[in-house]
Amino acid sequence: MARQTGIFNISGKIGDQVFYYKNGKKLVRKAVNKETYTLSEGSRKTNKEFASAHGVSNLFKKAVESFLKQYADKQFINRLRGKLIEIINTGPQEKKGERSIVDGNLLMLKELEFNCHTSLDKLVKFSPVITIDPFKSIELEIPAIQLAEAFSAPDNATHVVLSIQCCSFDLAEKNGRKSIAEELIIPLQTPTFSGGQLSITLEYIEERLVVLIKGVGFLSNKKDRIFNRRYYAGKILEAFYVRDGQILQYNAPPPPPAPLPAQDVSKIVKWKLQ
């Protein structure tokens, strides 16, 4: 990287030189020859896995677009994409370049928050009981609760809204299905909620990624959504991959062998006295 030392301010490409500014300094570098530039094998493998994560995040974004508008911050998809890359990196190193999220630890998706400003657990003090039958359905049960202790609501809230969605993706065909539960709206003026159950049918696909998400928000006057970012949140409750009717279990690769202790290779030499 060279510096510009001339009296004229130049920016842009001239011939095979690129003139630009960085941190207040005038610099110049040689332009990249796109015809001869090739990626290393390692870079090609990394790019292929990044594209795989990008494809999954796009599928998810399309499936839950309306949910994102209500419960997510603007950077959620970037965080999701980063998490998917982390998951791929937990797959076996010998498959690098061919790995997908199926090879990694999908449990890392659980608890991923949609709103970086407020966690779901800060607003909701209980968790539904979830039962999964990969051949049939996902069952959720909310126990009887005391509302004053169950939610951290803003002062002007009259109702709490619970949203549940389940997405099922066929990654090979790059498509999916979603089940959207009717919003559960609970008036905060009542002292207790008697509980409820929800059953989401899973349509059989030989292989699929299943993601269950939950959101919570508040209403004023029973109809007006409160869009204060401190009072809406969402997160991924479950994420798993089904193959032949069974939930695929992640097998962590063995840790690398411990390095051998350093050997003393020093040699003592003696003075030759006159």
Per the domain annotation, does 254 fall within a domain? no
Per the domain annotation, does 256 fall within a domain? no
Q: Residues 112, 238: one domain?
A: yes
Q: Residues 155, 125: one domain?
A: yes
- How far apart are the C-alpha atoms of 29 and 4, rounded to whole Å? 10
Q: Find residue 247's DSSP bridge partners.
A: 242
- How far apart are the C-alpha atoms of 235 and 215, rounded to whole Å? 7
Beta carbons of 236 and 107 less than 8 angstroms apart: no
Domain extent at residue 119:
41-247
- How far apart are the C-alpha atoms of 228 and 156, rounded to whole Å? 11
For 157, half-sphere exposure in the C-beta direction (CA atoms, 13 angstrom radius) is 27
Q: Residues 164, 219: one domain?
A: yes
Q: What is the pLDDT of residue 162?
A: 96
Beta strands per DSSP E along the chain: 2-3, 12-14, 17-22, 25-30, 129-133, 137-142, 145-146, 159-170, 175-180, 184-187, 192-193, 196-201, 207-220, 224-225, 233-243, 246-247
Q: Which helix (H) or strand (E) holds 64?
A: none
Q: Residues 73, 133: one domain?
A: yes
Per the domain annotation, does 171 fall within a domain? yes
Q: Residues 72, 127: one domain?
A: yes
Q: Residues 211, 131: one domain?
A: yes
- How far apart are the C-alpha atoms of 116 and 24, rounded to whole Å? 33
Per the domain annotation, does 97 fall within a domain? yes
Q: What is the pLDDT of residue 22?
A: 76
Q: Residues 26, 93: one domain?
A: no
Residue 199: partners with Cβ closer than 8 Å, 6 or more residues away = 137, 138, 139, 140
Q: What is the pLDDT of residue 34?
A: 60
Q: Residues 228, 101: one domain?
A: yes
Residue 117: partners with Cβ closer than 8 Å, 6 or more residues away = 73, 229, 230
Per the domain annotation, does 268 fall within a domain? no
Per the domain annotation, does 274 fall within a domain? no
Q: Which helix (H) or strand (E) holds 273?
A: none
Q: Residues 133, 223: one domain?
A: yes
Burial of residue 20, with CB atoms counted within 10 A of its CB: 0-12 exposed, 13-18 middle, 19 or more buried: middle
Per the domain annotation, does 52 fall within a domain? yes
Q: Residues 109, 27: one domain?
A: no
Q: Find residue 169's DSSP bridge partners.
A: 176, 209
Q: What is the pLDDT of residue 185?
A: 95
Per the domain annotation, does 186 fall within a domain? yes
In the chain, the number of structural domains is 2
Q: What is the pLDDT of residue 218?
A: 97
Q: What is the pLDDT of residue 247?
A: 92
Q: What Å distances lie between residue 163 and 54, 67, 185, 197, CA to CA?
A: 26, 8, 9, 13
Q: Residues 105, 229: one domain?
A: yes
Q: Find residue 218's DSSP bridge partners.
A: 160
Q: What is the pLDDT of residue 223?
A: 82
Q: Residues 241, 109: one domain?
A: yes
Going residue by residue through the chain (274 aa), what tens digit of pLDDT does each one get?
A: 445 555 556 666 777 777 777 777 777 777 766 665 566 788 888 899 999 999 999 999 999 999 999 999 999 999 999 999 999 999 999 999 999 999 999 999 998 999 999 999 999 999 999 999 988 899 999 999 999 899 999 999 999 999 999 999 999 899 989 999 999 999 999 999 999 999 999 877 678 999 999 999 999 987 899 999 999 999 999 999 999 888 999 888 777 777 777 676 667 777 777 6
